[in-house]
Structure 1
Amino acid sequence: MADVAGILLAAGAGRRMGRPKALMRSADAAPWLTAAVRALQDGGCSPVVVVLGAAAEEARALLGGLEVQVLEATDWATGMGASLRTGLASLTDWAGSTGRDGPGVEERPIGATAALIHLVDLPDVGPDVVARVVDHAAPDVLARADYGQGAAHPVLIGREHWPGVIASAHGDRGARDYLRGREVLAVDCSGLATGRDVDTPADL
């Protein structure tokens, strides 16, 4: 299997939810943040990079004991694009950090073939979805999960596309502009999850 880095975007303020989604918990009190990290890890992603922003210190505390690299997107308030740029740019710069206050950073580029972009507000997306999308990894690939209702997350971005995505990711559009007009493989994940993002308390 190709080496695939996982990037979890968890920086938003969750204004419609009433609190940052990085701090949300499921009915059994399990944090969405840690569940999403484990979905990436158990689905075959290594390393896993978590990009925080709003309530970063509280969210960081939830990640104790997990083997993740924690970044803060200083411009997170401008939209998802800032978090995506932060996560992708980090993959070519360093590896080995467990957080700002954790062990020292080992300076070396990450040799990942692709990056899988996941969102913290998809609580029913588990490792089976991640593994199915990761299975298509290649340096030139663009792929994303499809739950029977069109393009969704997670999104797989081959290494050759990272510079283009970083350059085009602005506001809340993330990689949308870059993906538009390009061949993007739809990976059938229907039956594994709904892939529905949870934006408001009514969605719970």
Structure 2
Amino acid sequence: MNRIVAADEPDGHDLTDMGVGVLLKEINMRPQLRDGPYMQITAASVAIVLLAAGRSSRMGEGGSHKLLAEFDGVPLVRRSVQTALESNALNVTVVTGHRRAEIEQALAGLSVSTIENPNYASGMASSLITGMSVEAVRDADGILMMLADMPGVSADDLNILIAAFHESGARAIVRAVSRGKRGNPVILPRSLNAAILRLEGDIGARHIIETAGVPIVDVEIGDAAHLDVDTPEAVILAGGLLRN
């Protein structure tokens, strides 16, 4: 109206641009959808599956278990679980296998679920599938696959990934990167649950990421995305202390 009074008559394009809420004055008689239940947005739920079942084969035959190496006096697997629990994830499930009793003992007192993968020797795919067998994991909007041997990953890193997943509408794959190079952790949307169950052998989430045809959101978290400790030298270089 102000433009008309000023002799600046709007054309059809102007009216179209004004069509999203601008022409309708707020009045008590008309319900405001943004204030009602139809406009409430619920954050997507993310469950963490922490993979701790591997044989640590690169640590040497009969050698120390990398997940029991101590960082600041805390076993690495416990440190990783504590990081997961401090994040905004809905729940945390740890998949165990090799030296299961010792791994579970290291997690004593933590509010976390554990599930054994009896086929851990067949490769990572079996651990991913084992994690999927937990109802709380299957029902989540997204699954954050986290490796237990990455001491540099923080709860803040996980929360950044989870926030990116929320922003995608729980539809995208969210992947941690370092200087543009792909890494871990990774969040997979629930739409890919069936693809996880079809994995075989020593194949992880990378195969799904490359073949799913789902949008991918890369999130920079720095060196933590690549820092894993697969060898005794790597454990020591990262500041860990090996235990038998």
TM-score by length of 2: 0.71
**1:174 maps to which residue?**
204
Aligned residues: 185
**2:54 maps to which residue?**
12
Q: Which runs of 5+ in 1 are unaligned?
A: 96-108
**1:78 maps to which residue?**
122
Amino acid at match of 1:70: T
**2:196 equivalent to 1:165:** yes
Contact kept, 8 Å, 2:184 with 2:225, in 1: the verdict is no
Contact kept, 8 Å, 1:139 with 1:160, in 2: the verdict is no
**1:22 maps to which residue?**
67
Contact kept, 8 Å, 1:125 with 1:195, in 2: the verdict is no
Q: Counterparts of 2:231 and 2:108 in 1: how far apart (Å)? A: 27
What secondary structure, in the 3-state scheme, does the structure 1 residue paired with 2:151 have?
coil
Q: Counterparts of 1:60 and 1:76 in 2: how far apart (Å)? A: 15
What secondary structure, in the 3-state scheme, does the structure 2 residue paired with 1:121 have?
coil
Amino acid at match of 2:103: A
**2:221 equivalent to 1:189:** yes
TM-score by length of 1: 0.84
**2:8 maps to which residue?**
none
Give matches, 1:121-132, under 5 Å. 121-132=149-160
Contact kept, 8 Å, 1:140 with 1:158, in 2: the verdict is yes
**1:150 maps to which residue?**
181
Contact kept, 8 Å, 2:78 with 2:106, in 1: the verdict is yes
> Max radius of gyration: which structure?
2
CA RMSD, 1 decimal: 1.8
Tell me: CA distance 1:36–1:162, structure 2 relative to 1, closer, same or farther (3 Å).
Answer: same
Q: Counterparts of 1:21 and 1:49 in 2: how far apart (Å)? A: 19
Contact kept, 8 Å, 1:10 with 1:21, in 2: the verdict is no
Instruction: Quote the sequence identity (%).
Output: 31
Tell me: CA distance 1:135–1:157, structure 2 relative to 1, closer, same or farther (3 Å).
Answer: same
Tell me: CA distance 1:67–1:119, structure 2 relative to 1, closer, same or farther (3 Å).
Answer: same
What is the CA distance between 1:23 and its match in structure 2?
2.0
Alignment match of 2:231 (pick from 181, 184, 200): 200
